[in-house]
Amino acid sequence: MEIEVIKESKLELEMTIHGENHSLCNVLRKYLMEDDDVEYAVYAIDHPLTGEPNMTIKTKRSKRPRNSLQKAAERLKAETAEFRELIELNVE
């Protein structure tokens, strides 16, 4: 996965997430929207077969969008690890 920053300001981050699809973007958007510092987080994929997701994060109260994205990614990583452990317990 590669992230290309399209536009960045103090309160807004627009990026393309190369090599990803709705699976990652939808859960990131969900976690971002649960963050009180985020005003909105949206993404769009122009073409369902060949498009790549463009995501925009806008924060409020002088919070940096990169920090909110980092928190969302860490939460996703932790929950993925927990899910993997549950699967491994039930397979054995």
Q: How far is Cα 28 from Cα 75, in angstroms, rounded to an integer?
A: 9
> What digits encode the pLDDT tens for the residues 48-73?
888 999 999 999 988 999 999 999 99
CA-to-CA separations, 16 to 13, 29, 61, 91, in angstroms, rounded? 10, 14, 25, 37
Does this model's pTM top 0.85? yes
Query: Residue 11 CB: number of other CB atoms within 10 A?
Result: 16
The dihedrals phi and psi of 14, each to the nearest 5 degrees, come to -120, 130
What is the pLDDT at residue 92? 62
Query: Between β-strands 2-8 and 38-45, what pairing exists: parallel, antiparallel or unpaired?
Result: unpaired
Instruction: Name the DSSP letter for residue 35.
Output: S
The pLDDT of residue 89 is: 81
Instruction: Give the CA radius of gyration of the chain.
Output: 15
Percent of the chain with pLDDT over 70: 99
Residue 13 is which amino acid?
L
Alpha helix (H) residue ranges in the chain? 22-33, 65-91
Residue 21 has a pLDDT of 92
